[in-house]
């Protein structure tokens, strides 16, 4: 397991670069052991930030077979209280300036405090195979989590290390959140290869971020479509292009024209550019497109990982298109919505129904064509449209929600576009441009009387052609 000590001396290599300080693997492992070695196995809720505290707690929890529950530190207190209440986390690792009832401080590490749950000691024990919990939608407070095993995490991590040819000379940067499965996989694969990881709080739209890339010799840059779209007009200096070795894109679909733009730009400078596809349920990788295949297989997300396989479901299949099914050791155990669910075993048995429509060509390359389920990605983060809809309906709005990646559409009948938009922006921490609303004389419905989401989606898309 990549979070355990190596016997070959590589733990003395530099790992975490935090400003002027560089920690070796051995040093960080010691700090992580100091945090968790004295406590019995339990769920550790970690309020994640791009900082050494989060990384130390995450690795420490894994090393001592605790179950990290990775939460967005930017969630409002009300949503965090709800998650902590549902999962009855045995321990809470949070910034020291945040306090939560039912938890008593037991130790401190830099700017964070480890607290123990003191209200109810009779909570159900988690399943022995359970290693980690990652929310399916980290930015909304939706309590649904993916249950991952040690085997899930390790198998996927080792596969990523192999196809990216990672080794101890590689250096990644903390651009993506660690409560987000793509961002976490970047950290996991660097740790598994015993490479190094630069902590940077700068935005990739600032000169300071790219100065860090050059000054600290970052070799690997990973981002979601929203970031690449923001960088399309940027002129990358020779210093930046000389430092980078590999660029990866995942977290949603990037337009073919932008994919071609970045593939061409980076390939001209010897930088390998990978388009990747995955889901949190796959720990989180399913497929990748090698740079060598980028031109002749434009629009594809590549082939399945070497540890897995893909197929098209026979149900609701139209010619060669249908729901993509992935099978492999990295497929999660299942879902959880509360503490009782943590006692469950392997519900998925290595088979993931992705909810994505796809076709697979005769060489095994996957082309994603749409979605079956009502989930979109906003800035690379999965967002459950049903959860947003129920939250807004709970506030009294007769609203129905549809969307596409980076756009959430609100359909209403009453004259309440302005208030429903204001409530959406207050309830959910997305950029204002994500939201669009439209008033209908009557919400279209199916023969069964249910909202016709297909027709609603078509109406919004017609307005934005």
* Domain CATH code at residue 448: 3.30.300.30
Check whether residue 205 and residue 246 sit in a common domain. yes
Please state, in angstroms and as integers, the Cα–Cα distance from residue 103 to each residue in 94, 121, 205, 367, 414, following that order.
Answer: 11, 12, 38, 48, 44
**Do 326 and 286 meet the contact criterion of CB atoms below 8 Å apart?**
yes
User: DSSP 3-state assignment of 157?
Assistant: helix
Domain boundary among 370, 394, 411: 370
Q: Is 336 exposed, middle or buried (0-12, 13-18, 19+ CB in 10 A)?
A: buried
The pLDDT tens digits for 428-451 are: 988 888 999 999 998 887 655 668
- Burial state string for 258-278 with b = 16 or more CB within 10 A and e = fewer than 16: ebeebbebbeeeebbbbbbbb
| Whole-number pLDDT of residue 2 | 93
Indicate if 76 and 129 belong to the same structural domain: yes
SS3 (DSSP) at 65: coil
- Is 5 domain-assigned? no
Share of the chain above pLDDT 90, in %: 73
Question: Which residues have a Cβ under 8 Å from the Cβ of 42 and sit 6 or more positions away?
Answer: 66, 67, 89, 90, 91, 117, 126
Q: Is the pLDDT of residue 136 over 90?
A: no
- Structure tokens of 1? 């397991």
First to last CA, the chain: 49
d(CA 197, CA 380): 21
Please report which residue ranges of 256-383 form alpha helices under DSSP H. 256-267
Please count the other Cβ atoms lying within 10 Å of the Cβ belonging to residue 201. Answer: 11
* Claim to verify: residue 238 and residue 380 sit in the same structural domain: no
Model pLDDT for residues 185-227, shown as the tens digit of each residue:
999 999 999 999 999 999 999 999 999 999 999 999 999 988 8
| Residue 419 C-beta-side C-alpha neighbours within 13 Å | 12
Residue identified by tokens 């479901």 is: 313
% pLDDT > 70, the chain: 98
As given in the structure block, the two tokens for residue 171 are 């250096």
Per residue in 9-30, pLDDT (tens digit) is: 999 999 999 999 999 999 999 9
Same-domain status, 100 and 195: yes
Residues 287 and 330 in one domain: yes
Supply the range of the domain harboring residue 457. 375-463
Rg value, the chain, Cα: 22
Q: Is residue 348 in some structural domain?
A: yes
Same domain, 277 and 418: no
If phi > 0 it is left, if psi is from -120 to 50 it is alpha, else beta; for residue 406 that is left
Instruction: Answer yes or no: is 1 within a domain.
Output: no
- The mean of the pLDDT values for the chain is 92
Is 168 found in the same domain as 20? yes
Which of 321, 342, 370 marks a domain boundary? 370
Are both 292 and 421 inside the same structural domain? Answer: no
Query: CATH code at 35?
Result: 3.40.50.12780
Same domain membership, residue 202 and residue 98: yes
2: in domain: no
Distances (CA, A) of 19 to 94, 111, 184, 198, 280: 21, 15, 21, 9, 30
The reported pLDDT for the residue numbered 316 is 67
> Tens digit of pLDDT for each residue in 246-282?
999 998 888 888 999 999 999 999 999 999 999 999 9
pTM of the model: 0.85
Report yes or no on 47 lying in a domain. Answer: yes
Domain finish residue from 370, 397, 432: 370
Residues 47 and 67 in one domain: yes
């Amino acid at each position: 397991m990549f979070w355990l000590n190596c016997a070959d001396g590589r733990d003395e290599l530099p790992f975490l670069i935090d400003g002027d300080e560089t920690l070796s693997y051995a040093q960080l492992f010691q700090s992580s052991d100091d945090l968790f070695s004295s406590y019995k196995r339990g769920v550790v809720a970690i309020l994640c930030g791009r900082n050494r505290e989060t990384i130390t707690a995450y690795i420490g929890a894994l090393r001592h077979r605790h179950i990290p529950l990775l939460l967005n530190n930017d969630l409002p207190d009300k949503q965090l209280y709800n998650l902590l209440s549902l999962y009855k986390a045995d321990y809470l690792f949070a910034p020291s300036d945040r306090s939560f009832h039912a938890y008593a401080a037991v130790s401190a590490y830099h700017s964070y405090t480890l607290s123990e749950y003191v209200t109810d000691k009779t909570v159900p024990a988690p399943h022995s195979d359970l290693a980690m919990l990652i929310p399916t939608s980290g930015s909304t407070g939706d309590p649904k989590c993916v249950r991952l095993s040690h085997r899930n995490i390790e198998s996927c991590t080792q596969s990523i290390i192999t196809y990216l040819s990672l080794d101890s000379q590689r250096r990644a940067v903390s651009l993506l959140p660690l409560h987000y499965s793509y961002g976490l996989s970047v950290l996991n694969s660097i740790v598994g290869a015993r490479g190094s990881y630069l902590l940077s709080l700068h935005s990739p739209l600032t000169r300071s971020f790219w100065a860090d890339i050059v000054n600290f010799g970052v070799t690997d840059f990973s981002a979601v479509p929203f970031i690449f779209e923001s960088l399309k007009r940027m002129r990358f200096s020779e210093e930046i292009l000389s430092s980078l070795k590999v660029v990866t894109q995942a977290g949603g679909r990037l337009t073919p024209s932008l994919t071609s733009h970045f593939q061409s730009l980076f390939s001209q400078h010897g930088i390998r550019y990978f388009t990747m596809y995955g889901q949190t349920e796959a720990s989180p990788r399913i497929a990748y497109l090698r740079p060598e295949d980028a031109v002749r297989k434009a629009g594809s997300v590549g082939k399945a990982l070497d540890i897995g396989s893909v197929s098209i479901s026979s149900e609701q299949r139209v010619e060669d298109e249908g729901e993509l099914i992935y099978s492999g050791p990295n497929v999660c155990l299942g879902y959880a919505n509360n503490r009782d669910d943590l006692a469950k075993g392997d519900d998925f048995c290595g088979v993931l129904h992705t909810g994505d429509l796809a076709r697979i060509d005769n060489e095994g390359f996957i082309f994603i064509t749409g979605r079956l389920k009502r989930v979109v990605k906003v800035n690379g983060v999965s967002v459950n449209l049903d959860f947003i809809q129920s939250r807004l309906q709970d506030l009294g709005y007769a609203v129905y929600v549809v969307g596409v990646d980076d756009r959430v559409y609100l359909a209403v009948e009453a004259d309440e576009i302005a208030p429903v938009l204001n409530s959406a922006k207050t309830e959910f921490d997305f950029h204002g441009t994500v939201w669009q609303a439209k008033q209908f004389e009557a919400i279209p419905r199916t023969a069964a009387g249910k909202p016709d989401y297909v027709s609603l989606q078509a109406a919004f898309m017609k307005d934005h052609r």
